[in-house]
Amino acid sequence: MAKESIGIIIATKDRPKDLIRLLESIRLQGMKPVETCVVDGGAIPVDTAIAGFSDMNIRYLKAAAPSLTAQRNAGIRMLDKEAELVAFFDDDVVLEPSALAAMAAFWRDAAPDTGGASFNDIN
């Protein structure tokens, strides 16, 4: 089965500038995600940074305490059920403009027993 819809989960903590750079790179994707969930575990809220991306489908959740695993699990729980693929990104990642389309292309040709894939980190 071709997997064409990607949901993104970003666990963040006290790095609003990095988060903005990542969201800008998501905005420039040729293939848009179904939804982006930002789970904020920091003392510095990033909800105001997200406000500049009203053209994107972003959900924000303030986590009770910082924990990468707990934040990712919270993101999974709130992610739109239309997402056939889930991508986890650290808040300091910047995507190449064709990254999501390349991942979707990989999954179109992947063997049915493939359980996961990752992006290449080039820097």
Question: How confident is the model at residue 15, as a pLDDT?
Answer: 94
Nearest to 56 by CA among 88, 10, 15: 10
Q: In the chain, which stretches have pLDDT less than 50? A: 1
Q: Report residue 18 as tokens.
A: 């990095």
CA distances (Å), origin 67, targets 3, 26, 59, 73, 98: 29, 23, 18, 10, 30
Question: How confident is the model at residue 123, as a pLDDT?
Answer: 66
pTM to 2 decimal places: 0.91
The whole-angstrom separation of Cα 21 and Cα 105 is 25
Question: How confident is the model at residue 1, as a pLDDT?
Answer: 42
Q: Report residue 13 as tokens.
A: 């903590």
Question: How confident is the model at residue 3, as a pLDDT?
Answer: 65
